[in-house]
Every structure is written in C-alpha cells, then in structure tokens.
Structure 1
C-alpha cells in the first residue's frame, strides 16, 4: 500500500494516479487533479509562511492525503476502503455522474471524514484549538477551487443561468453541499474525535463513515429536477475521460478559472 512521508511524495503519488487514470479512461483521475492542486497550494503556503505552524501543516497534509491514498489503493486491489470512499469510487465507474458530482463525492469523503480524523491525529484535546486558523485555510483553498466548478457549469451551459434563476433548485444543490457546512462539520467532528479513547476510535470512525455515505448518496441522486438537468449535461458531454482529465490539468495551469462539466 503506497503511502507518502512528505508533501512532495503526496504530489508524486497523485501524479501517478492521474496518469494511470488517463490510460484507464477512469473518472478516478478527476478528483485526483483537484486534490493535487489543493496540495500544491498548501505546499506553496507552507513555503511562504502563510500557515501559523508550517511543520504541523505538512504533517497534517501528509496524514490527510494518506487516508485518500490508502482508500484509493485498497479499491484498486479489490479491498474494502471506507464506505464513503467506496461509494465515490464506484460512482466513477458509472456513466451518469457529471464531473461536478465526481468532485463533490471526493470532497465529501475527504473533508467530512478524513480531515477531521487527520486534524485530531496531529492534535490533543488541549491544543486542537490552535489548529483552527490553519484548518480554515485548507478549506478556503478547496472552496475557492470548487467555486470555479459552479462558474464553469454556467459558462459552458448558459441555459443553466435561466434555470437557476427560475427554480433555484440547482442553486439549492450547491447550498446543501456548501464548503462552509462541510468545514464546520469537519471541525466539530475533529474536536469530538480528538477526545475519543484510542480503543473506541475505530467504532467512532465507522459511525461517521456511515453518516457521510448518506451525504454521498444525496450528491449522487440530488432529486428529480437536478438529476434530470445533470443527465442532460452528461448526454451532451464531449471527449473521452482522458480528454476531460487533460482539460482539467490545463485549467489548473490557469489557476482553475473553470472546470469542465
């Protein structure tokens, strides 16, 4: 099972996942691209002294990333990862989810489950509050990137602007899965998890995993109207999965101004 020891190794392993996904025509590469950009920006922030504690932030980033990497390699080996990651990976094999849904499924598992656990692992009950500012910066980076996804949906499909204004239902979909809600829930969970005795953490993790999987099911099936619009988008998507991955990489080089829907 490949695991990273440094932030540079995290980026290297994400690069390998992305390249393999191109070859395999796998949607698993879509979240890996977004996550790579987050990791690069965290690395840049550490080097620039943007975080309160750079050493702790790199440790957190590696522990955080290794949870995703472990889940990914478990799935590749036909082993059972956490339930929410298994659901996200399984959806990557289905035809209907659009790029946005693939990204949100990955974000859901990684922020709502993994980030709280990783934050607790670099903290104690006494000092976890010291992590709050840097914790929020991680989420701010991800939130800014996700914002580009929404803008691109409207840019590529101008009719969605009218639909959104007329019904508000697509907007509600984004609101229901807002990064602010995910961030607050993850921080609350981190504060609860850090106080859990070591021998009870596995059971606590499994319970949280089940709850987060329910959110994943809502992302995958957000109701009749939104699902219908997403299916319409999916039917008219162009290019192979590999081409979508390449397009996303190009967009990242332009600071993720937009993500292909």
Structure 2
C-alpha cells in the first residue's frame, strides 16, 4: 500500500537520525527505533483506511513526531535548551536496559509533547464544533489500537537490541504486555484532558497558555524523574499511573 507522503518524509528523517545514533552507540536509539517502527505502522493504518480523517491524522502524526525529533537534534548542540522531561530522559544512565530508555522516551513524548501537538492541530474552531472534536478524539483513540498491536513485536525487537531477560521477566512478559496496554490507554485519556486544559488557557491569552504549558512541563518532568528512581517501576506506575494531569 502507498504510504502517505507526509508520513514517508518523517520516516526518512527518523531513519537518518537512527543511523547516526547507532553509529554513536547512543542509547536514545532504542526509543527512536521503537518510534520509527510505530510510525511505519501508523502509515500502514492510514493506507488501510482505519481513520475517519486520514489527512488530519497524517499531519498530526508528523507534527507530533517533529516535537521529539527536534528535541533529539537540539540536544546535540544545545542540551540546556531541551525541555525538562526530555533532558531527564536523554540524560538517563546509558547502562539502563533498552526497555527503560524506551519507557522514559514514551513517557516524555506522550505526556509533554502530545497535548502540545493536539493543540497545534485542533484549532479553536474545531473545539467549538462537537462533531469535529468527537472525530478528532476518535482518531486519537484509534492510535491506541495501533500502539497496542505493536507491544508484543516491540518486546521482541528490544530483546534483539540487547534487552536483558531474567527467568522472572520471561514469566511476567504477558502481564507486562497487558500492563503496557492499560498504561497507554490511561495516559491517552489524561492527554485528552490536558489538551482541553491547554485549549482553555489558549482562549485566555498567551500568558495563561505559557503558564499552563509550564505546569505540564513540570508535571511531565516529575513523572520521568519518578521512573528514574530505583525500585520496581511497574509498582510505581500502578500507584501513580503513566500519565499526568494539569488543571
């Protein structure tokens, strides 16, 4: 099936960056590799007609990816200019398991970048139309189906990339895959709430929006920091959730 040209362009950019990260032995390659494969899966879903508004989904997918890719490239020359959630994720111990680097990248990208991308792609006029807003929400939720379908394959890909599996890890793999799907659904629900909060702030003016975005950055950074603490990550996720919320 032909891939949407916008998605094909961002996939090409990801591949170029991934080659550089692999050459450098940069642990950021683990999340980017996962994200590349997920973006390819979204492109296939678009080609298969799984979304109500494929043109909007393609543009949104590219805008969303661009926030992460821009942060990834910015940190090479100006690491201090990268937002706090990404500074923490990029600065994690290189010796962490590949799965941990992927979890940190997913957390920063979904919690911090996704509401910003949705705000950029859902204008005030769309928020004023219940029919359009519902269509956007449904397509947003359909992305969950694409992500959930990738969980098992990504687990295998990370093992091949160097993920370390103990006997207990192998025993718990089905549980962890189920938990991953639950956490993704929970975080996406919170993302939609945060998008609405950013929209309300947007209607109040630039100062209000900047303040609310700063709240989102702080909350997202705190969640990444929580994931970096020693101890059982799944337990903390079960207690605190994967996502964050701002008022």
User: Shorter-chain-normalised TM-score: which range?
Assistant: 0.7 to 0.9
Residue 212 of structure 1 deviates from its aligned partner by: 0.9
Q: 1:196 and 1:129, CA in 2 relative to 1: closer, same or farther beyond 3 A?
A: farther
Greater RCO, CA 8 A, separation 6+: 1
User: In 1, distance between residues paired with 2:43 and 2:64?
Assistant: 14
Other-structure match for 1:62 = 62
Give 1:81-120 correspondences, 5 Å limit: 81-91=82-92, 94-120=93-119
User: In 1, distance between residues paired with 2:222 and 2:182?
Assistant: 12
Using the size of structure 1 for normalisation, the TM-score is 0.72
How many residue pairs get aligned? The number is 215
Please identify, of 76-85 and 190-199, the stretch whose mean Cα deviation from structure 2 is larger: 190-199
Please identify, of 149-158 and 212-221, the stretch whose mean Cα deviation from structure 2 is larger: 149-158
Q: Please tell me whether the aligned partners of residues 125 and 195 of structure 1 are also in contact (alpha carbons under 8 angstroms).
A: no
**1:184 matched to 2:189:** yes
Other-structure match for 2:169 = 160
Other-structure match for 2:149 = 144
Q: 1:96 and 1:51, CA in 2 relative to 1: closer, same or farther beyond 3 A?
A: same
Other-structure match for 1:33 = 33
Q: Please tell me whether the aligned partners of residues 31 and 102 of structure 1 are also in contact (alpha carbons under 8 angstroms).
A: yes
- Runs of 4+ with >6 A deviation: 151-155
Residue 185 of structure 1 deviates from its aligned partner by: 1.1
Other-structure match for 1:125 = 127
Q: Please tell me whether the aligned partners of residues 64 and 113 of structure 2 are also in contact (alpha carbons under 8 angstroms).
A: yes
User: In 2, distance between residues paired with 1:95 and 1:28?
Assistant: 9
Q: Please tell me whether the aligned partners of residues 71 and 85 of structure 1 are also in contact (alpha carbons under 8 angstroms).
A: yes
**1:217 matched to 2:225:** yes
Residue 208 of structure 1 deviates from its aligned partner by: 0.4
Q: CA RMSD in A?
A: 3.0
The C-alpha deviation readout for 1:24-75, integer Å capped at 9, x for no partner, is 0101111111111111111112222110001101111111011111111111
User: In 2, distance between residues paired with 1:178 and 1:26?
Assistant: 27
Kindly indicate which of the two structures has a greater share of residues assigned to helix: 2
Other-structure match for 2:244 = none
Q: 1:176 and 1:155, CA in 2 relative to 1: closer, same or farther beyond 3 A?
A: same
Q: Please tell me whether the aligned partners of residues 97 and 220 of structure 1 are also in contact (alpha carbons under 8 angstroms).
A: no
